[in-house]
A = this chain, B = another copy of it.
Amino acid sequence: VQLASASAGDHGLNAVGCSLRCRFLNLTIGVHLSVAKAWCIASRPKDCPQLADFIAIEIPRRDLREGEVRVLNHWMSVDPYMRGRMNAGDSYITPFELDKPMDGFAVGEVIESRATDFQPGDQVLHMLGWRTEAVAPANQYVKLPSSTIPIQAYLGIMGMPGATAYFGLFEVAQAKAGECIFVSAAAGGVGSTVLQLAKNKGLTVVASVGGPEKVRIVRDLGADFVIDYKSSPSIESALRDAVPSGVDIYFDNVGHSHLDAALGCAKDFARFAICGMIQSYNSTQPTILSNAIKIIEKRIAIKGFVITDFVCKLDAFRTDMAALIQQGRIRSLETIRSGFESGPSAFLELFSGGNVGKMLVRLVD
């Protein structure tokens, strides 16, 4: 293993290094190497997915082809948007195929490479999640920088959810210091990042969460006002009580009555960044808005967005966010479930509020 580390620049020795390293890994996490495993969806749920909608399969190991890289996944991501991928039909992202390994973000370590740009030991981000091991051409991996930031952060605050918060807040909603923002699901992966970014920028934040533990957590993160929607008879009344002069921005992760409350309490020319509607994902119940007319009266601009539309700007996000983390001005909240087997249950917890911050599945101890 030391040989592999020392000879990172030498292709001739790399094969040996890799081989040594693989054998070493084999001892500690042998199951991952003897056979790779992946989660598939077995059926498309109509409403709330069940564990029975998922099935684990074994993927036979095969030799790498020229240009391919094998990665041992250390962490995989489960995210609310994946619920939409369980449905058939067109959307902004392709549906999961039945009985084929699901994909999604994951981070891991290169354990074998037939591509010149990757060496065993490299830490990478990629989209071949929901499996223990990824085998793909080198262009499907992004090498992670060496830093004090732990690699799982690239699935959360430094990754897709962090970028979603960042671009939703600053590009879509055009947040400015001194404004007032209402954010729903404020203890979630995206919401907790929106909250902190907004406080760093100098906004007043009204955070909606479910339950007393999350109330405490978002207060700790700096929320100026907190609404526990589970114990509030009316989100709209609670929001109006918190900020009688209204909100400049609504960052929507929930939809439905949260969206309606925000419409009812919007200031003139308020901007709504519509990021998620988790209350819709498992339900065919329509969205009922008593305050739709406020869109006109208050000249509200409502914009849906998807993070993939901002990929060309990711460098700016990564630089800014890394600086905030390293300066201690923003914290990564994580809920961790352990083991490949816990993938589907961790995913299902997203819809019952089981996570605080980013939900992660740790695949390698």
Q: Is A1 an interface residue (CB 8 A)?
A: no
Q: Report A340 CB to chain B, min CB distance, Å.
A: 30
Say which size band chain A's interface belongs to: 20 to 34
Q: Are B301 and A280 in contact (CB under 8 A)?
A: no
Within the complex, the shortest CB–CB distance from A2 to chain B, in Å, comes to: 50
Q: Tell me the bound Cα distance from A301 to B305 in angstroms.
A: 9
Does A316 reach chain B (CB closer than 8 Å)?
Answer: no
A74-118 at interface with B (beta carbon < 8 Å): 84, 91-92
Contact with B along A297-308 (1 / 0, CB 8 A): 111111111100
User: Contact between B275 and A296 (Cβ–Cβ < 8 Å)?
Assistant: yes
A297 cross-chain contacts in B, Cβ below 8 A: 84, 91-92, 304, 306
A304 touches B309 (CB 8 A): no
How far apart are the CA atoms of A305 and B290 in the complex, in Å? 19
Q: Is A51 an interface residue (CB 8 A)?
A: no
Q: Output the least CB separation between A73 and chain B (Å).
A: 28
Does the CB pair B301–A303 fall under 8 Å? Answer: yes
- Does A274 sit within 8 A of B, measured CB to CB? yes
Docked Cα-Cα span, A268 to B306, in Å, equals 11
Task: Return the CB mask of A200-241 against B: 1 if under 8 Å, else 0.
Answer: 000000000000000000000000000000000000000000
A251 CB, nearest partner CB in chain B, Å:
13
* Residues in B whose Cβ lies below 8 Å from that of A322: none
Nearest chain-B residue to A268 (Cβ)? B92
Q: Within the assembled complex, what's the spacing in Å between the Cα atoms of A275 and B259? A: 20
- State whether the Cβ of A292 lies closer than 8 Å to any Cβ in chain B: yes
Q: Does A162 contact B (CB under 8 A)?
A: no
Task: Report which A residues bind B (CB closer than 8 A).
Answer: 84, 91-92, 255, 259, 268, 274-277, 280, 286-290, 292-306, 309
Known: A277-B293, A298-B304, A300-B302. 16 other contacts (CB 8 A): A84-B297, A91-B297, A92-B268, A92-B298, A255-B292, A276-B296, A277-B296, A286-B288, A287-B288, A287-B290, A287-B292, A289-B289, A296-B306, A300-B303, A300-B304, A302-B303
Instruction: List 6 tightest A-B contacts by C-beta distance, closest first.
Output: A295-B304, A287-B292, A296-B304, A302-B302, A287-B289, A286-B290
